[in-house]
Structure 1
Amino acid sequence: MDCAARGSGTTPCSGPPTRRCGLCGVASYCSVSHQIQHWNDHKDECGRLEQQMQRSHLLHDFPFSFSVETTFQVCANQVTRCSFLMEMGLHQKGMWKSECSCVTPVASSDDSWANNDWNLPSALCPCADPINPISMCLSSWKDYYLWRCLPLHSPVALLLHWDPIKSFFNLQSLGSYMHFFPIFREGERIKLYSYARCVDMGCACKSSSEKNGGVSNGGNSAVTLQLWKGFYHDRYRDIVKDSVPHLIVASNAGIAAYSSWLPTIELIKEIEVPAIFSDYCEEAANLAARCISTVTGHPLGIPIQLNPFRQPMAVEDSALHIPCYSNCFLFGI
Structure 2
Amino acid sequence: MPRLTSKQYFGALTSAAQELTLAEKSGLPIPARFDFGTKEVCAYCQQNIEPPKKPLRCSACKAILYCSKECSKKGWNYGTANAPPNAPTHKQLCKENARHMTRLPDTQAILTQFPWGRLETDGSFNRDVARGRYRVLGGDDMGFWSHKGGPVPHQNSGPFSAVASSMGYQTVMAQMIEAFDHLDGKDLLKSRHLSDEDGWKLPSRLIPYREFASASSADKRPVLVTNLDEPVKDWESWYRWRKLPLESPVALIMDFPMSVYQLVTNCLQITNATRGSPDKRIPISLQMLGVEVELNCLPIFSELALLLPYHDIKIVMVGFSVHKLCVEARKHPKSIAAQASITQPTFSYTAPQECGSGSLQIFLHGESPTWAPDNFPFGRPDALIACNAGLGSYPDWVPVIQAVHMYDIPFGVTEYAEQSAEHQRAAFPTMLGWKRIYPRSDYPIALNPFQSPGQRGIPMYKLPNAINGFTLVVVKHEKLPEPAEHLAARIAELDLD
TM over 0.5, yes or no? yes
What is the letter of the counterpart of residue 98 of structure 1?
A: H
179, 183, 192: which one pairs with 1:107? 183
Partner of 1:226: 364
Pair 1:97-2:146 in alignment? yes
Q: How does 1:1-333 map to 2 (within 5 A)?
A: 3-5=42-44, 13=45, 15-16=47-48, 18-40=55-77, 41-62=89-110, 64-66=113-115, 68-69=117-118, 72-73=119-120, 75-76=122-123, 80-92=126-138, 93-98=142-147, 100-101=149-150, 104-107=180-183, 110-111=186-187, 116=194, 117-128=199-210, 129=212, 130-135=221-226, 136=228, 137-163=231-257, 164-167=260-263, 170=271, 173=276, 174-183=282-291, 217=340, 221=349, 222-228=360-366, 229-232=368-371, 235-239=372-376, 241-296=377-432, 297=435, 298=439, 300-317=441-458, 320-333=461-474
SS where residue 256 of structure 2 aligns?
A: coil
Say if 1:74 and 1:314, in contact at 8 Å, map to a contact too: no
2:97 is matched by which residue type in structure 1?
L
Deviation at 1:158, TM superposition (A): 0.7
SS of the equivalent of 1:39 reads: helix
Task: Decide whether the 8 Å contact of 2:443 with 2:473 is kept in 1.
Answer: yes
Q: For residue 302 of structure 1, report the CA deviation from its aligned partner.
A: 4.7
Q: Structure 1 residues 147, 279: closer, same or farther in 2, change over 3 A?
A: same
Deviates more, 1:305-314 or 1:215-224: 215-224
What is the rounded CA distance, in whole Å, between the counterparts of 2:256 and 2:105 in structure 1? 22
Q: Give the corresponding residue for 1:203.
A: none
Alignment check: 8 A CA contact 1:81 1:100 kept: no
Q: CA deviation at 1:47?
A: 0.7
Give the secondary structure class of the aligned counterpart of 1:330.
Answer: strand
AA paired with 1:162? Answer: F
Name whichever of 314-323 and 264-273 sits farther off: 314-323
Unaligned residue ranges in structure 1 (runs of 5+): 6-12, 197-211
The one-letter amino acid of 1:182's match is G
Post-superposition offset of 1:105: 4.5
Q: Structure 2: which amino acid aligns with 1:132?
A: V
Shift of 1:144: 1.1
Pairwise CA distance, 1:167: 4.8
User: How far apart, in 2, do the equivalents of 1:143 and 1:193 lie?
Assistant: 18
Look up the match of 1:206.
none
Counterpart residue identity of residue 251, structure 2: A
* Per-residue Cα deviation, 1:22-62 (whole angstroms, up to 9, x for no partner): 32122234554443333242212101111221331011122
Distance (Å, rounded) in 2 between the aligned partners of 1:184 and 1:306 = 22
Are the aligned partners of 2:148 and 2:182 in contact in 1 as well (CA < 8 Å)? Answer: no
TM-score relative to the length of structure 2: 0.53
Return closer, same or farther for 1:321/1:192 CA change in 2, 3 Å cut-off.
Answer: closer
Structure 2 residue identity aligned to 1:16? N
Residues 63 and 462, structure 2, Cα contact 8 Å, conserved in 1: yes
Worse-superposed segment, 146-155 or 164-173: 164-173
Q: 1:118 to 1:15 in 2, by over 3 A?
A: closer
* Deviation for aligned residue 1:139: 0.8
- TM-score, normalising length: structure 1: 0.76
Shift of 1:313: 2.8
CA contact (8 A) 2:373 2:380 kept: no
> CA distance change for structure 1 residues 254 and 318 in 2, over 3 Å: closer, same or farther?
farther
Distance 1:48 1:309, change over 3 A: same
Structure having greater relative contact order (Cα 8 Å, sep ≥ 6): 1
Instruction: Report the Cα distance in structure 1 between the residues aligned to 2:102 and 2:301, rounded to whole angstroms.
Output: 42
- The count of residues paired between Structure 1 and Structure 2 equals 302
Cα deviations by residue, 1:42-85 (Å, 9 ceiling, x for unpaired) = 2121011112213310111227332541xx228546x6322222
Q: Are the aligned partners of 1:125 and 1:154 in contact in 2 as well (CA < 8 Å)?
A: yes
Could you say which residue in structure 2 is the equivalent of 1:9?
none
Larger Rg: 2
Mark the CA change 1:330 to 1:107 in structure 2 (over 3 Å): closer, same or farther: same
CA contact 1:127–1:195 (8 Å) conserved in 2: no
For 1:285, the aligned partner's letter is A
Bigger helix fraction? 2
Task: Say which SS state the counterpart of residue 146 (structure 1) adopts.
Answer: helix
**Counterpart-to-counterpart distance in 2, 1:36 and 1:224:** 52
Structure 1 residue identity aligned to 2:208: P
Of all paired residues, the percent bearing the same amino acid is 21
- Per-residue deviation, 1:150: 1.0
- One-letter amino acid of the structure 1 residue matched with residue 144 of structure 2: M
CA RMSD of aligned residues (A): 3.6
Provide the secondary structure at the position in 1 that maps to 2:146: helix
Task: Decide whether the 8 Å contact of 1:14 with 1:31 is kept in 2.
Answer: no
1:14 deviates by 7.7
